[in-house]
């Protein structure tokens, strides 16, 4: 069942995101608007578009969420494999399950390490410029 739904959801999400589908929806709205005077802009005429768009929106939310969930899991799995198979720190595997506070603390730690690395690089460049091995910044 999961496999059938996944294929269905992917196919519908792909179709829904196509320019042709967008143009078809625009055509439906234009046809509905043109039909307004013929139906005297009645409540039934208004209810038709409201009901149709509500049903489509309701169903699409679940299909899109399903495809986003699968895409997110696939992306995380790929990133975890890259981390696992490289010299990166394995502690980053599975961080998507951390709390917001834990993610913020980890992010701050990464930013601090990046600042430290950047400062060391700038210090090295300054030393190389001082020794005449590297052109000055901006040249």
Output the pLDDT for position 13.
87
Output the pLDDT for position 132.
84
The CA-atom distances, in angstroms, between 100 and each of 16, 79, 103, 106 are 33, 20, 5, 10
Q: Which two tokens stand for residue 22?
A: 């967008």
User: CB burial class (10 A; 0-12, 13-18, 19+) of residue 47?
Assistant: exposed
- The DSSP symbol for 41 reads T
pTM summary value: 0.60
**Phi, psi dihedrals of residue 85, rounded to the nearest 5°:** -90, 5
Residue holding tokens 């930013």? 111
Q: Considering the chain, what is the average pLDDT of its residues?
A: 89
Query: Is residue 135 very low, low, confident or very high in pLDDT (cuts 50, 70, 90)?
Result: low
Q: Which two tokens stand for residue 57?
A: 């929106």
Over the stretch 19-66, which tens digit does the pLDDT of each residue have? 999 999 999 999 999 999 999 999 999 999 999 999 999 999 998 899
Over the stretch 73-113, which tens digit does the pLDDT of each residue have? 899 889 888 888 888 778 888 888 889 999 899 889 889 98
| Residues recorded for the chain | 139
pLDDT surpassing 60 at residue 139:
no
**Phi, psi dihedrals of residue 107, rounded to the nearest 5°:** -60, -45
């Amino acid at each position: 069942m999961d496999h059938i739904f996944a294929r269905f959801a992917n196919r519908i999400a792909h179709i829904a995101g196509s320019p042709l589908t967008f143009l078809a929806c625009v055509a439906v709205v234009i046809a509905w608007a043109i039909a307004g005077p013929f139906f005297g802009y009645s409540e039934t005429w208004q209810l038709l578009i409201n009901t149709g768009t509500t049903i489509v929106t309701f169903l699409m939310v679940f299909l899109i969420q399903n495809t986003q969930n699968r895409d997110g899991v696939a992306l995380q799995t790929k990133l975890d494999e890259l981390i696992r198979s490289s010299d990166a720190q394995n502690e980053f595997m599975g961080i998507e399950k951390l709390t917001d506070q834990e993610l913020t603390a980890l992010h701050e730690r990464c930013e601090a390490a990046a600042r430290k690395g950047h400062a060391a690089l700038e210090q090295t460049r300054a030393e190389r410029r001082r020794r005449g091995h590297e052109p000055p910044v901006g040249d």
